Structure 1
Amino acid sequence: MTGNTHVVVIGGGYAGVMAANRLTRRDDVSVTLINPRPDLVHRVRLHQLVGGSDDAVVAYRDVLADRVRLVVDTVTRIDVAARSVTSAAGATLDYDYLIYAVGSGSAEPSVPGAAESAHPLATLEEAQRLRAVLDATPKTAAVTVVGAGPTGIETAAELAEQDRRVTLVCGGVLGPYLHTRGRRSVAKRLAKLGVTVIDGPDAKVTAVARDAVRLADGRELPSEVTVWTVGFGVPDLAARSGLSTDAVGRLLTDETLTSVDDERVLAAGDSAAPSGVPLRMSCLNATPLGARAADTVLSRLAGEQPENLHQSMYAQCISLGRSAGIYQFANRSDVAVWLHIGDGLGARIKELVCKGIPKHLADEARKPGSFGLHRMPGGVAKRRELLRAHRVEAPAAADRAA
């Protein structure tokens, strides 16, 4: 593989693969993608892996451009001064540009007993371990799913559809992102599947034991298998490498996704914090962010000013078993609106979304530059408004702290 400019992409998820493929638009650019696994983890299907209806992986040969060199390894350090990365295998790789797309995983649980007795579900390996545990557990055993975001809802529905005894503990409201109408639709479907939903202010988990879950109001729920879907965290690679990050650990960038520390380092996907105001962690945002980061590199190589980030379409899509789902529409501020599509049509839309993600990546591999979701008109004014509000709130928060 030859080229005058070498770009290293760390992370082979939706954002990283999109960025790597798009960079092959130029013949004088060589691309290396470094990822810990030999396949793409199709994260939006991890709950299906747990339920046994999908393996949640896609072969890189089906979605990665031929010109992208794949290195199966883990980056342990970024040396910005030397423009190089070091891997767990001891290899050192130089770069001209670096795209940081390490994604996200399970947040470290702060609830006593959760780390020892609950099963997280944010990575392929976690999903595979949970699947093995469930396979060895009788269907009559009590299963408690903690966390009422999309992962928790989808996992609860998937397991209940298999006639398992499932309790979904929300820690607050069911589906916090959803509009009230959408939330009612989801609650109705979960009830039909036999899921016991515990929500409200007293539905916070205060302790997890091997065979029980304790709630804030003192209740103790029997639970032979506890699934933990509360929150996401990001790898600490950027922070360990001396790069500026937000409080969660996402790489701080400007609005072109360029690191505030070095113009040769960019970020995309869940591990990016543009202007300290990151987009919601989701596949809907990850793929366009990957394309945007690649476009910034390509613009710089062409001597052009990169475009700023904007996003014009938001939504949330949740499966509710194999035969129902919900597609929740949202406005350009990423706030859910009254309109949603549910039931069987919602399930079909969710399946189209799941199939569409690898198709977008494969199309970009075959024809780099073809993806255009991040270039859809609109969203610029809303992003500026959000940034203005953030600039006003930040000094106010600092004054309160003082």
Structure 2
Amino acid sequence: MNTTTTRHEVLVMGAGYAGLGAAIQLAARTRKRGNLRVTLVNPYDTFTERLRLHMTATGQETAELNIPELLEGTGAEFVRGWVTAVDTAAKTVRIDDDRLLRYDTLVYGLGSIADTAPVPGADEHTHTLNSPEDAALLADRLTRLDGGNGGNGGNGGTVVVGGSGLTGIEAAAEIAERHPKLRVVLLGREEPGASMHPKAKAYLDTALARLGVRVRSGVEVVKVLPDRVELADGSRITAAAVLWTSGTRVSPLAAAAGLTVDERGRVVTDSALRSVSHPDVYAVGDAAAIRQGYGVMHGTCQGGMPTGVHAALSILRVLAGKEPKPFRFGYYHTPVSLGRNDAVVQFTRPDDSPRRIVLTGKRAAQYKETVTAAPWATFARMKKMPASGALWPHGGRHTRIRSAK
């Protein structure tokens, strides 16, 4: 890169945990150089704490985290808009007001949303936790049901949560605790906590039962109607509201742009997080298919932010004429909230298999609140770090990242 006459343009798409981590890391390390400009594009100017959307969905207030304020002083530019197209030949990104944003290096971090497409009626008749707006719509619906303006004549109604994964578990527990007049049914192919150590799973099962959550596992939803869900075994459940948390899908923009993607549409990367078909594109977070020794990473904020940081460091090494280092990541834990004052934390091996170590109850709830809040504090520390700062400047509570020497 000619440091006297040109400025390298890095465009980061998506201000989730991964994209924001990449943008701040790049800006913090180059803000005094003047030879690199970082632009971050996102539909909202507030950071979405996806780990807290189940709280928003039950009417609880969470902190409003402003992205432009966080970027102040870093030199990074924020552009608000929805990405509508990526042209890898012209190296441009189009947003919804028809502006074209140019890039030399692109960081693709558009994340994922709930996959309502496979089940007829799910897209039209279910709520999701895809955004704060979606969560707020569910909160309004639950409040009206709980207040007697819907459901069974003032006695609430049944809320079905489709999907027994971590999001479904946390949402079902939160709804049951905040709206005790509503009946909550958690549906899934697998039992909640099926991958946990027996001790953790037993605690989770007891907590859900205490909250009054009815669990039906080994079932498959085949159709969603305005007032019920129909199951593969021919049975049906009357529902005043349905929350869909079963599976995720990513934006089709990567495939449309000609990037090599996997069967789920995620960008396939090399060991440095570059697209295997377009090395000037880095993919991070849920939008990337990142292979480790134990398999392809699954989408969590635990892995998202480290991918953003590593992509930033890879970009800087390439621009300095060096080879990027391979990304190495190991999981550390699975924290699951069970209402506001209860939780279970399953500590894991790097491949995400359960260890015998489990934390439960109020201590687990406090632990989860601490690690949930940690990403924003980490972003703030990144912003202030010197160009020679540590690779991963956080307290080490919620991720384990191994970098090649």
Aligned to 1:392: none
What are the residue-to-residue correspondences of 1:2-401 with 2, within 5 Å? 4-24=7-27, 25-26=29-30, 27=33, 28-55=35-62, 57-66=64-73, 67-138=75-146, 140-162=156-178, 163=180, 164-199=182-217, 201=218, 203-275=219-291, 278-367=296-385, 369-370=389-390, 371-372=392-393, 378=402
Q: Is the CA contact (8 Å cut-off) linking 1:236 and 1:249 kept in structure 2?
A: yes
Partner deviation per Cα, 1:93-138 (whole Å, 9 max, x = no partner): 2111110011111113322322222212232232122122222223
Look up the SS of the partner of 1:41 in the other structure: coil
- 1:56 Cα shift? 6.4
Counterpart residue type for residue 107 of structure 2 = I
Other structure's SS at 1:137 match:
helix
- 2 CA distance for matches of 1:141 and 1:226? 11
SS in 2 for 1:12: coil
- Whether the 8 Å contact between 2:330 and 2:352 is mirrored in structure 1 is no
How far has the Cα of 1:143 moved from its partner?
1.0
* Larger deviation, residues 243-252 vs 281-290: 243-252
Aligned length: 377
Q: Is the 8 A contact 1:154 1:318 kept in 2?
A: yes
The alignment partner of 1:285 has SS state of helix
Closer/same/farther in 2, CA of residues 312 and 113 from structure 1, 3 Å limit: closer
Give the Cα–Cα distance (whole angstroms) in 1 for the partners of residues 255 and 401 of structure 2.
34
Q: Is the 8 A contact 1:38 1:60 kept in 2?
A: yes
Percent of aligned pairs with the same amino acid: 34
Could you list the per-position Cα deviations for residues 290-326 of structure 1 after superposition, in whole angstroms to 9, with x for gaps in the alignment?
A: 0011011011112221110111333211110000011
Contact in 1 for aligned 2:381/2:393 (Cα 8 Å): no
Is the 1:21–1:65 contact (alpha carbons within 8 Å) kept by the matching residues of 2? Answer: no
Q: How many Å separate the matches in 1 of 2:267 and 2:226?
A: 36
Secondary structure of 1:51 counterpart: coil
Of stretches 114-123 and 8-17 in structure 1, the one that deviates more from structure 2 is 114-123
Structure 2 segments unaligned to the other structure (5+ residues): 148-155
TM-score by length of 1: 0.88
| Alignment-derived partner of residue 151 in structure 2 | none
Instruction: Write out per-residue CA displacement over residues 160-206 of structure 1, whole angstroms, 9 at most, x where no aligned residue.
Output: 1121321111222212432332111111111111111112x3x2222
The superposition leaves residues 49-90 of structure 1 with CA deviations (integer Å, 9 ceiling, x where unpaired) of 011223464211453353110000122222222222122211
Which 5+ residue runs of structure 1 have no aligned equivalent? Answer: 381-402
Alpha-carbon separation, structure 1, partners of 2:232 and 2:102: 51
The 3-state SS of whatever aligns with 2:296 is coil
Q: Which amino acid aligns with 1:34?
A: V
2:15 counterpart letter in structure 1: G
Cα distance in 1 between the residues matched to 2:209 and 2:191: 15
Q: Which one has the bigger helix percentage?
A: 1
Structure 1 stretch 308-317 or stretch 244-253: which is displaced more? 308-317
CA contact under 8 A between 1:102 and 1:271: conserved in structure 2? yes
1:383 matched to which residue of 2?
Answer: none
Question: What CA deviation, in whole Å up to 9, does each residue of 1:327-386 have, x standing for no partner?
Answer: 111111121223211111111011001111111111112226443479967587xxxxxx
Could you say if the C-alpha distance between residues 377 and 179 of structure 1 is closer, same or farther in structure 2, counting changes exceeding 3 Å?
same
> 101-110 or 152-161, which moves further after superposition?
101-110
Preserved contact between residue 65 and residue 366 of structure 1 (Cα < 8 Å): no
Aligned mates of 1:349, 1:3 — CA distance in 2:
47
**Alpha-carbon distance in 2 for matches of 1:320, 1:64:** 34
Number of the residue aligned with 1:400: none
